[in-house]
Chain A
């Protein structure tokens, strides 16, 4: 039995201790907003927050998430930075296929929570682990800047 604090709610799951958090979210709890892209910490599609820090859930054993505050795309809109990022994403019409976007939004939100006015280089540093096969990077960049400017107000 593992006890997980996800988006402010406690969940009990019973899985093998080596099960990555990603598959607990997706297959046990049916929280499918967090995506599977590579399973090897190479693409960022599975990004969640662990105590506010952007973390790849595909390589994180569930036991390492016990006792930590887990935030996923389903819950990130409850935070000020998350709300701002989602609103900016809509304003800039960022998504294409949309599959990478949960991970992009989680990475951007973690960045803004600790660095409210990131430079382009800061964005590169925080976001270069998140692939977008649709190649919509300039809009991602613009949306991060927009979210930084508007804070949580524009939601």
Chain B
């Protein structure tokens, strides 16, 4: 299959010109979803469509989601081609421009995140495929003058009675002249009829990812394009006091030094010269008033807040105070602490802006096209319809490229406007790790009272940390002082506990925070799944049996995952000496994942050998991609659990590159065995749900091995462990 991913302006014009013949179809969305975006203006041009069939028979899926490794191009091609009956060899992908039609059906935003790309496209893209197929089949039936019922499409060819057949390309013009069918009249396939959905289709853009031709944001090259790096504020909240340019300007290749909102840009002919120029720039910064920010001080503040009851209550069942005060009960209490984390995508942040008086082109790997366009338009002084966002391949996103504040776009646009030239702003790895927008630091206090049966009669979880959505364009999601992502995975505890309270202290700090793969769940799963393990140990019960005993009929998916996990992991069977298993189970993004980690100690440090992961994500659109995502999430989560933290001292981030912010390497990576619970339910999330269980699964295995609880991440903080 060929999937040329030319998202450049030229590519778009070419693609748009190709539309002059053939079938172009707007996406049809389910009616309930349609209401939320119907009021938004539709994009004015013909690219406002998801499916194009041209005269050569090439089917183009105009891709409204960003490919960052999660396999979304492949998955969405499967959804479309399944109903269109298109031959995958003739399907290509073209990245979508910004237009309301590409917004998420429930949110007025064009973005990729929340593990929602498949679920939010599930009905609409299949309907779009079915509508196009219906029109092509009708066109053939008319041409042959036969009843439409006697014609059917298969692998991009319509077949009729008497061996008649015609390719999609031959029918495209006729089909385009027909009225689009009412989506409600279309019958979509039942799962047992699927021929592509459920198959391990290979990644559609694999070829350009093995021969170096794939174009990431950092690979964009425009005629006359300059490069820039920014001298950014080295500590939180400081501002520019003075700078001396001459030494920087003396560096060969440097063409200018320009002050921006975000820092001082050194502009050059190539990136190396820009970096050298930045090194030569003499900048003085003005520190903010007050004590410089320090994460140890923040930690102390969070610990004391965690002791206090909050009136911001996310869940309150029964009477937790009375339950916890029961002196006959076995009472447990623990604090779980998690650090700030950087996303550190393999491709450092970057953005190309090409500002002209009458239009702006922005080329970048982004997860948030519509907020980026709004911000770019504002900075450019142009109306949004004159701003064109070209989405490139993303060298990892993990949430960092989904910034409603559009930080990496704004600065590039500001610079290009001031220069009047196209420019690429390159973030060095140091810029990337120091550049703000981190996963929040969090503290959780958990308390439980176990009844005579060993089960929790009371469970009280206090979450302390910053809100991600407050002050952003998602502010509306914050209700009654509760940012839902702060308590996700805590307020929806699946275990049956009669007296349950979850409350929240939302803090403020000068650190800017952002979603990081699995968002709030990366915190709450560690706290909840570690603490339930502590409860099981206190009750003297096997941790898997304990969880099973607390899952009622209201949580059949959790139970099914747990059973499959028990079987696939060989739970309870002997292990080689010096190894132990730990378990965690967590629901996020509509999917339930259970993981069992097998851990030993090597020189007192945890070594994870094998992880068995079981997911219920509804219909498995592509089992191959799901397995890859589970492995990815486990390793990404394990890097964080073992090593990951961004700490601040004197207002400055202490980690600068992969030496201070280590990422798991090949010899440390466990074997990950992925299993999918068979399901006929609509698909749910895959990219993130594999992450939350890994840290607690490993921590619980460490307990099984050493009788020592790890309650603070990263685990290397605990020093060396000794096997019990």
Contacts and interface: CB of A to CB of B under 8 A. Distances in A.
Most buried by A among B253, B346, B395, B428: B346
B486 interface: no
B210 A90 contact: yes
Interface string B272-287: 1101100000000000
B663 to A, nearest CB: 5
Interface string A25-39: 011101111111111
Nearest to B428: A39
Contact of B635 (A19, A137, A141): A137
Contacts of A27: 227, 269-272
B206 A141 contact: no
Contacts of A45: 346
Most buried by B among A30, A90, A132: A132
Interface in B660-681: 663-667, 669, 671-672
Interface residues of A, number: 57
Contact of B671 (A72, A99, A124, A138): A138
Interface string B466-493: 0000000000000000000000000000
Interface string A83-122: 0001001100111111111100100000000000000000
B666 A128 contact: yes
Contacts of A19: 270, 272-273
Contacts of A138: 631, 669, 671-672
A133 B209 CA distance: 15
A53 interface: no
Given A16-B253, A36-B218, A96 B429 contact: no
Nearest to B624: A93
Interface string B387-400: 00000011111100
B666 A97 contact: no
A32 to B, nearest CB: 4
A34 B69 CA distance: 18
Contacts of B253: 15-16
A31 B393 CA distance: 17
Given A32-B221, A133-B345, A98 B666 contact: no
A135 interface: yes
A38 B657 contact: yes
Nearest to B672: A138
B636 interface: yes
B271 A141 contact: no
B218 A35 contact: yes
A39 to B, nearest CB: 6
B395 A136 contact: no
A38 B210 contact: no
B272 A23 contact: yes
Interface in B326-356: 344-348
A3 interface: no
B395 A97 contact: yes
A127 interface: yes
Contacts of A127: 666
Contacts of A134: 69, 346, 396, 632, 635-636
Contacts of A95: 69, 203, 206, 209-210
A32 B218 contact: yes
Given A43-B346, A133-B396, A34 B657 contact: no
Contacts of A133: 344-346, 396, 398, 636, 663
A97 B428 contact: no
A36 B350 CA distance: 11
B272 A131 contact: no
B553 interface: no
Contacts of B633: 135
Describe B's contact surface by its main secondary structure: loop
A55 interface: no
Nearest to B633: A135
Given A32-B221, A95-B206, A134-B69, A141 B212 contact: no
Nearest to B639: A135
B321 interface: no
Contacts of A123: 666
Contact of A140 (B219, B636, B666): B666
Given A37-B429, A45-B346, A97-B395, A131 B663 contact: yes
Contacts of A135: 631-636, 638-639, 664, 669
B202 A90 contact: yes
Contacts of A93: 202-203, 206, 624, 628
Nearest to A123: B666
Contact of B666 (A31, A72, A101, A137): A137
A90 B70 CA distance: 16
A73 B270 contact: no
B723 to A, nearest CB: 24
Contacts of B394: 97
Contacts of B666: 123-124, 127-128, 130, 132, 137, 140-141
A99 B669 contact: no
B193 interface: no
A52 interface: no
Contacts of A100: 346
Contacts of A26: 271
B636 A74 contact: no
A138 B665 CA distance: 11
A42 interface: yes
B429 A38 contact: yes
12 contacts: A15-B253, A27-B227, A35-B216, A96-B69, A97-B393, A97-B396, A98-B209, A124-B666, A131-B346, A132-B346, A133-B663, A137-B635
What are the nearest 6 A-B pairs in CB distance? A33-B212, A135-B635, A99-B395, A97-B69, A98-B209, A96-B69
Interface of A: 15-16, 19-20, 23, 26-28, 30-40, 42-43, 45, 72-74, 77, 86, 89-90, 93-102, 105, 123-124, 127-141
